[in-house]
Amino acid sequence: MKTVLHALNSLEAHIIQGLLESEGITSNITGEYLQGAIGELPATGLIRVVVDENDYEQATQVIDNWREAKFTA
């Protein structure tokens, strides 16, 4: 598995996971429940969206296209 996104929060991770799923890419979210340990762990960089290495390039392209559309709209 390879990380395609270090999410700001759980909501962003799930949005990206849904976006990837709509393109036929299976992904997993890791570290989602670590936010409850803030104070003991760093406050950011805990939640990651990961995909199979074979899907990495397509997944990063989907995310890049989403970011471009999001910021140009």
pLDDT by residue (tens digit) across 1-35?
999 999 988 899 999 999 999 999 999 999 887 65
Q: Which long-range contacts (CB under 8 A, 24 or more apart) does 53-58 make?
A: 53/1, 53/2, 55/25, 55/26, 55/27, 56/2, 56/4, 58/23, 58/25
CATH H-level, domain 2-72: superfamily:
Hypothetical protein rpa1041 (3.30.70.1530)
pLDDT by residue (tens digit) across 37-53?
555 555 566 899 999 99
- The reported pTM is 0.80
Q: Report DSSP letters for 36-64, one per residue.
A: GGBTTB-SSS-EEEEE-GGGHHHHHHHHH
Q: Which residues pair with 51 in a beta bridge?
A: 2, 27
* Domain range list for the chain: 2-72
